[in-house]
Structure formats: C-alpha cells, structure tokens
Amino acid sequence: MKNNKFLVFLFLLISAIGFSQVYTNKVVGKKNAALLDSLKVVEYPYALPIWGEKATQKGYQLPYSAGLSVNYFWQESDLTIKNLEVGFNNGPMYNLDQIIRFNSAVASGYAVNVRPDVWLFPFLNVYGIFGKTRMSTTIDAGVWVPDADNNWSQVTSFKSKADFEGTTFGLGITPTIGVGGGWFALDMNVAWTDINSLDKPAMSFVFGPRLGKTFKLNKQDSNIAVWAGGFRVHLKSGTNGSLALSDVLPLDGAQAKVDQGLATVNDKQAQVDNWWSGLSNAEQAKPSNKAKYETANRALETAGNLLNGIDGALSTAETSTVQYSLEKAPKDMWNFVLGSQYQFNRHFMLRAECGFLASRTQFMTSLQYRFGL
C-alpha cells in the first residue's frame, strides 16, 4: 500500500469548477434613466430566460441567455484519511488505522473543462461540466507499533508520488441577483469523475458564495468586476479499488525494507511477550496491564500481516495487486477566494480567481463567449 493513488478523490473538485460571473442587473440611478426607459419598451428577442421579457420591462438588464466557457483550474490541498483497509491479491483486508500515521498527504493538479450554460430564469443559471483532469498525490507516512511499555515507534516509513488522469461530467446551478452593479451569487454543482484506479466514478459537491461589484468602463458594454467569497468542497467519503503492486510501491529496495520491518516487529513482539510472562497472575489481571497487552498484540499482529502481505506479493510483483478501501476528506472544507473579470463586450469575458487561507491553494482562469438563444 506504499502509494497514494487512493488519494485521487480530491481532484474531483478541480474538474467541478463552474462559476458564472454574469448576472441579471436591476438598473437604478438617474444617470441610467435612458437605459431604463429603453428596457421597458424594447421587445425582448430571445426565448430564454423564461420570463425574460417581463424582467426587462421591470428594469432588469439581462446578459445573453446562453454561453460557452473554457476553464483552467489548478489547486494544491492537504488531505485527511481514516478507515484505511488494504489487502493483497484479493486476500484478506486489514484495517491499518492503528498502525499507519500520515505525516503529510498533499494533492496537486490541474483541470481543463468546457462549461455550456443557459439562463433558465432571469435569476437562475444552469450549466454542464465536461473536463479532463491531471493530478498527482504525494504522501509521507510510516508504520508504527508499541513496545512492552506502550511506547510507540516507527517500524518503517515510505514516501511516494503518483500521477493520474480523469474524465469529469457534472451539472450545476447559480442563483444570482444584481442591483446597480452590485451582485450576489451562490454557485453550486455536483460532478462525477471517472478514474481507472477506482471501482466506480466518484462524486463531489462544490458550493461557492460570492459577493461582488461591477464597474463600467468608457467603452460601451465594457466593464471590470471584482468579488470575494468562499469555496467549499464536499467529497463522497467512501472510496475503494484495486491497483497493480508495481503502481503502489517502488520495487527497488522494497524487499530490504520489508525484511527490516518484519525483524523489528518480531523483536517488539518478543519484548511484549517477555513483559507479559514476567507479570504475576494478579498483575496480569489488572485492567490497565491487560489493555496494554491486548493493544500491543493487536497492533503488532496488524503490522505483521501487512508486512507479510507485501512480502508475499513481492514474490510475484509483476502480477500482484493491492485492494484498498478508505474514507477521505479535504483537511479544510472551506477556503477564501478573490476574483476579477474583464468584460470586453457583452459577448466576451476573461476572468481569474485565486483561493487561499486554510490548507488549500487554488487558481482559476476562464474565457467565456455569450450569445442569445
């Protein structure tokens, strides 16, 4: 299990970004009186959004009702893992939560996606997500066992990095409202990412509230928007799959590490057994000593099963497989985002957004084209 391919889940979110910055704006102010008057009398020429004509007659300026954007997204994030179980060559699965400690688990990568969208109602945008993702995960972890005094020490450690590719499909909505160039949006989407190492496509949910302001420029229909908000990602926690052993751990030097780890486990087991046999019957009956003995035996047995499983799999390394299951989550579900968009005209927009604070850093940029439908 000395690899982190099972950490691939975090990259569901990097294919699921789909924030639409355009919005329906309530025209206000004396300087916009002429525009307001024209909206009330001009016939709305498009089928979407529903109630589009009624909205314009009430003084709302609508964006073009359909759009297509190309998005690039990069992110790096810390992960947390629990309920980790591992088996070899379809054999017994062993829960490793007691003995595996992750010093760090970091995911990074990028995605490119295409997002078609339509304004179904004047204040509701609906969109789809179709994307490709490339990512890598890096972990630093160790196998830990106790001795007779219940002092835990590291038997062996491992670091690894793996690269993946995935294909994503998703759907999203953005309820939004604007008044006088100020606006509020609640972007949310659900996406499924298909990765070969997973038994089935994995699901993610992204929620992003944003509050912004648009500033007109001298050029007609040109403006700059700025915003701040949050970014929250929820990932379906259960993941299981199967990987080739050669994809899970570097084979060079693996046997020596396993042999050293087994020798250490055997030495620790001998220490625990000697300590226990040296206790009197009364001391063995004490709940504290009994709990210490059972905890040590359970951990040492699990570590031995893990290392023996790797040892057996190494004998047929080219054909051996590793089965796994786990529950996972980003270390922090929320982070803070700042963004800006330059609108060339009502058809073309270019935007960028960065996220930071907490344990996730991200950057997104996109080019959007809009048209009437």
Q: What is the pLDDT of residues 39-84, one digit of tens each?
A: 666 788 999 999 988 888 888 888 999 999 999 999 888 888 788 8
The pLDDT of residue 155 is above 80: yes
CA-CA distance, 85 to 68, in Å (whole number)? 43
* pLDDT (0 to 100) of residue 272: 92
CA-CA distance, 365 to 5, in Å (whole number)? 27
Which range among 27-36, 100-109, 161-170, 284-293 has the greatest average pLDDT?
Answer: 284-293
* pLDDT (0 to 100) of residue 257: 85
* pLDDT (0 to 100) of residue 195: 75
Average pLDDT, the chain: 84
Question: DSSP letters along 58-84, please?
Answer: TTEEPPPSEEEEEEEEEEEEEEEEEEE
The pLDDT of residue 9 is above 80: no
Which residues lie below 8 Å from residue 140, measured CB to CB, with a gap of 6+? 102, 103, 104, 105, 157, 158, 159
Q: What is the pLDDT of residues 124-145, one digit of tens each?
A: 999 999 999 887 777 788 889 8
* Residue boundaries of the structural domains of the chain: 5-24+63-143+157-263+322-371
The pLDDT of residue 120 is above 90: yes
Q: What is the pLDDT of residues 335-369, one digit of tens each?
A: 999 999 999 999 999 999 999 888 889 999 999 99
Q: Give residue 236's pLDDT band: very low, low, confident or very high (50, 70, 90).
A: low
Percent of the chain at pLDDT exceeding 70: 87
CA-CA distance, 338 to 358, in Å (whole number)? 14
| Ordered alpha helix ranges (H), the chain | 33-41, 52-57, 245-248, 254-277, 281-285, 287-314
Q: Which CATH class is domain 5-24+63-143+157-263+322-371?
A: mainly beta
Bridge-based pairing of strands 223-235 and 238-244 is unpaired
* pLDDT (0 to 100) of residue 37: 59
Collapse the DSSP code of 37 into the 3-class scheme (helix H, G, I; strand E, B; otherwise coil) and give the result: helix
DSSP 8: G
Collapse the DSSP code of 30 into the 3-class scheme (helix H, G, I; strand E, B; otherwise coil) and give the result: helix
Percent of the chain at pLDDT exceeding 90: 39
DSSP 9: G
Q: Is the pTM of this model over 0.95?
A: no
* pLDDT (0 to 100) of residue 30: 64
Q: Can you tell me the mean pLDDT for 306-321?
A: 87
* pLDDT (0 to 100) of residue 324: 80
* pLDDT (0 to 100) of residue 11: 44
* pLDDT (0 to 100) of residue 7: 41
